[in-house]
Amino acid sequence: MNSASAVNSLIRKTLVLVFVFLNALGIRVHAEAEKFSASVSSNAVSVGEQIQVTFTLNGNGSNFRPPSFADFNVLAGPSQSSQVQIVNGSFSQTLSITYVLQAIKEGTFKIGSGEITAGNTKVFSNTVTIVVSKGTAKGSGGSTQGKQSGTQDAALAGGKNVFLKASVDKSNPYLGEGIVVTYRLYTKVNLVTYSIDKIPAMSGFWSQEIALPQQLEFHSENVDGVAYKVADVKKLVVFPQRSGNLQLDPMEGDVTARIQVKRQSNNSNDPFGQFFNDPFFNNPFFNNSLQDVKVPLKSDPIRIAVKELPAGAPATFNGAVGRLNYEVSLDKSETKAHEPVSLKIKVSGKGNIKLIDAPKIQFPPDFESYDPKEASNITATSAGVSGSKTFEYLIIPRNPGEFKIPVSSFSFFDLEKKQYKEVNVSELILKVTKGDENASTNTVSGVNKSDLQILGKDIRFIKTYNPVFIQQSSPLFGSTLFYTAAAAPLVLFGFVLFLRRRNHAMQGNQSLLKSQRANRVALKRLSLAKKLLATNEKEKFLDEMFKALWGFVSDRLQIPVSGLSKESASEALSERKVPLELIQQFNETIDSCEFARFAGSTGDSNEVIYQKGIDIISKLEQSVRL
């Protein structure tokens, strides 16, 4: 006899012995009609509370299909357990499938029938009704065993075991003062994943994100005597753009927690249950199982009471707040006519540097000037925002002489001394000597200008052939051509005088000048943004898109950037009779930029944001009339 035959023979003998043994004990093995039922730990709960739903089959089944839980959050499940009992000689088996749900809204909700296959038959459970209210409510329903297990799973899945909390370093700042906002994740259980589903809109604030590590870095922290593992999820500095009561909206996300779930205890009359409930088996290896539970998170909103800046601001104050320095310089004090000169203004220190606009400079009429090039080197940390912002002007003197360039003073609100401070700057003196009229104009290092005017190029070459003289058939004096030529200098002089006066008027009305140049400045910024997009410099690209969008609206509406918010911009655009759909499109484009800055790769792609920016600026250019 081979080994396989020996094994089969042994199995048959063992089955016969077991059958004889059971008959000798008088145990009746029978199958009852399968019964499939549903029960809940509570029929009445309040919003946010958790409920355990258990589907029980008094037999063995497969292919379980749960009902829809669309009106609840599923925190855990399905968790399956099986139970075998021998009571008074009767053999029975029970299969239980459990879910842990969380109530999310008020109302009366029905959980439909579950479906399972028992043998060759599909059986359906009963439906259950759950009433969800605002207040704390307790109801009856479900077994004691189900309640205990549900309470344990719910406590492990959420509540005070894992939560998201927002905090600020100050809640009563001045208008324009930086506030450090931190979103922290607290947990007492092991986490598998986390994600951010919704970032706060930051309505009424200008924000600058603080760089954090890609991976969460946890540290220990004691909260009300309880030890938690804590990690910073998001951190940023925000600057309030208007006074009054503002609100930082909640941040929403979810985590997947890995928890230990105990098996359901067996009936106390079950000898097998009593055996496996022995302390030897009551340890994680025998009695517990790991389960991944998805837990929704939402921080609480934070109210910020923003104080208005004190009265008595200098006439040159334009919203700068912090502790700042102001420097003005020329790259050279002597030059020749038609040679370019660079004038630099640098604002540095700590505060809302990114929101500071280019200062006003009244250049002499003999100078040709161009819009300033802006360069920022700004860092956001837990201590606030610091760095520098430089404005570089390209100027070209056209005539020799000694010229004075008046630069307006700079003022800011000093947060340490709680008072305004004005920095006066002496006039800049530039000596210009006679230059080469036929020489080409050089370029200044660091300034991109391809449209500089080149003088001295109108050379007329000497003719080398013999001229042919034609005698006039009629005298020039008294002809139409004569009077036209005589009047031309007067007309030309009047036209030049008109242009000169118009230029002086425009220089005096800087707001109108900026409004007319808004589209050109926005196009330059969009061009730079496109280059940054091509080189995949995401953070710089998004910053440049913000400058293009807000700068265009600021210049076009003649409102300082420091006084702009989505609300004020929408109101100003409405007053200019801009269609509501364009205003909504502008706000949606700003939101897309903010979402891309704070949520990483989620939301619109950078290419989509760029196209949205071009589209809305083009439409607003046509819609906003001066």
pLDDT single digits (tens) 152-167: 444 444 557 889 999 9
Res 474: pLDDT: 62
For tokens 């999820």, the residue is 233
Alpha-helical (H) ranges within 469-537 are: 480-508, 510-516, 518-534
- Element holding 621 (H helix, E strand): helix 606-623
**Which residues of the chain fall below pLDDT 70?**
1-34, 77, 82-92, 135-159, 260-289, 437-478, 503-519, 561-563, 597-603, 625-626
- Whether 201 maps to a domain, the answer reads yes
- Whether 43 maps to a domain, the answer reads yes
The residues, any chain, with a CB within 8 Å of residue 220's CB and separated by 6 or more, are 227, 228, 229, 230
- Residues 135, 170 share a domain: no
Which of 403, 428, 444 delimits the end of a domain?
444
Q: For the chain, what is the domain count?
A: 4
Res 559: pLDDT: 75
For the record, the structure tokens of 271 come out as: 């000898």
The phi, psi pair for 534, rounded to 5°, reads: -65, -30
- Whether 404 maps to a domain, the answer reads yes
- Residues 616, 597 share a domain: yes
- Residues 105, 86 share a domain: yes
Res 64: pLDDT: 84
Closest to 57 (Cα-Cα) out of 76, 75, 24, 31: 31
- Residues 415, 324 share a domain: yes
State the CATH number of the domain containing residue 62.
Answer: 2.60.40.740
What is the Cα–Cα distance from 346 to 392, expressed in whole angstroms?
9
Would you call 149 exposed, middle or buried from its count of C-beta atoms within 10 A (0-12, 13-18, 19+)? buried
State the CATH number of the domain containing residue 393.
Answer: 2.60.40
- Whether 288 maps to a domain, the answer reads yes
- Whether 524 maps to a domain, the answer reads yes
What is the Cα–Cα distance from 364 to 113, expressed in whole angstroms?
85
Determine the distance from the C-alpha atom of residue 297 to the mean position of all C-alpha atoms in its chain, rounded to a whole number.
Answer: 17
For tokens 């939560």, the residue is 163
- Residues 138, 55 share a domain: yes
- Whether 351 maps to a domain, the answer reads yes
- Residues 237, 367 share a domain: no
For tokens 């280059």, the residue is 531
pTM score over 0.75: no
Res 354: pLDDT: 86
Number of H helices and E strands in the chain, helices first, is: 11, 30
- Element holding 597 (H helix, E strand): helix 580-598
- Residues 604, 531 share a domain: yes
- Whether 379 maps to a domain, the answer reads yes
Which of 390, 411, 444 delimits the end of a domain?
444
- Residues 176, 125 share a domain: no
614: helix, strand or coil: helix
Would you call 449 exposed, middle or buried from its count of C-beta atoms within 10 A (0-12, 13-18, 19+)? middle
**Which of 282-288's residues contact partners 24+ apart within 8 Å by CB, and which partners?**
284/260, 287/262, 287/263, 288/260, 288/261, 288/262, 288/263
Which of 425, 444, 463 delimits the end of a domain?
444
Range of the domain at 247: 158-264+284-308
- Count CB neighbours of 385 within 10 A: 22
459: helix, strand or coil: coil
- Residues 186, 120 share a domain: no
Res 412: pLDDT: 92
- Residues 212, 138 share a domain: no
- Residues 171, 292 share a domain: yes
State the CATH number of the domain containing residue 522.
Answer: 1.20.120
- Residues 379, 288 share a domain: no
- Whether 21 maps to a domain, the answer reads no
